[in-house]
Amino acid sequence: MSAPAIEIDDIVKDFPVGDGMVRVLHGISAQIRSGELTYLVGESGSGKTTMISIIAGILFPTAGRVRVFETDLYSLTDTQLVLFRLKNIGFIFQQYNLLPTLTSAENAAVPLIAAGVPRLEAVERGRAMLDRLNIVDQADKLPRQLSGGQQQRVAIARALVHQPKLVVCDEPTAALDAKSGRRVMDLLREVALESDRAVVIVTHDNRIFDLADRILHMEDGRITEDSQPTRQEQESFA
């Protein structure tokens, strides 16, 4: 059996608050496999966004180890970590983080440009990804000219354009109507089903629970349950 895509070993995360520290993650351990769509669910404040930020190499843990495709993320130098993320990880931020002076196609192309792909080729590939998300008609507009849902789809295109092996998403359907959200999730599931890729999603959206292969439930900075979605479980989130 091949190694898991992600191995999380006893992760602890503390944040400074006033003169003290608050522990947000309490020794989390888990494995996430390639070829699966994995959800992290739980109440606000349960540590989900902190956890995926650590998985994606954006936020350093206080203690513990994270291996992504057999690479120990936090043993890398800062430069090595940036290059590893650029090649292997796509992150869909809840706040989109689009560059205000770039068009939608240019924003979608940013990971390719950063990786050294010629600009014209990168922008065309960004435009093609926007087309897959049914938003290519907005390709030449700036972020301020887009609705929240349109900005979110541009952010998703940016996360997928360089075909990363790991895609990490923070509420990817939050600003989308049911039809657009389903289209995005169908694309993310298509990505996840490729055997050498993994997709991890933080979500509260019960409309998409049926698409998950696996659901990790978080509470108070701990994983309390590891399950597969069932009809009863879907209804409990409605």
Instruction: List the beta bridge partners of residue 67.
Output: 7, 72
pLDDT at position 116 is: 92
| CA 89 – CA 56 distance, rounded (Å) | 7
Question: pLDDT per residue over 76-110, tens digit each?
Answer: 999 999 999 988 999 888 778 899 999 999 999 99
pLDDT at position 233 is: 46
Say which residue the tokens 């298509």 belong to. 190
For residue 30, how many other CB atoms are within 10 A of its CB? 17
Decide if 170 contacts 50 (C-beta within 8 A): no
| CA 206 – CA 222 distance, rounded (Å) | 21
Please report how the helices 148-160 and 178-192 are oriented relative to each other, as an axis angle in degrees rounded to 10: 10
Task: With a cut of 50, say whether residue 236 has pLDDT above it.
Answer: no
Share of the chain above pLDDT 70, in %: 94
Decide if 227 contacts 200 (C-beta within 8 A): no
Average pLDDT score over residue span 67-76: 94
pTM for the whole structure? 0.83
* Domain parsing of the chain, residue ranges: 100-164
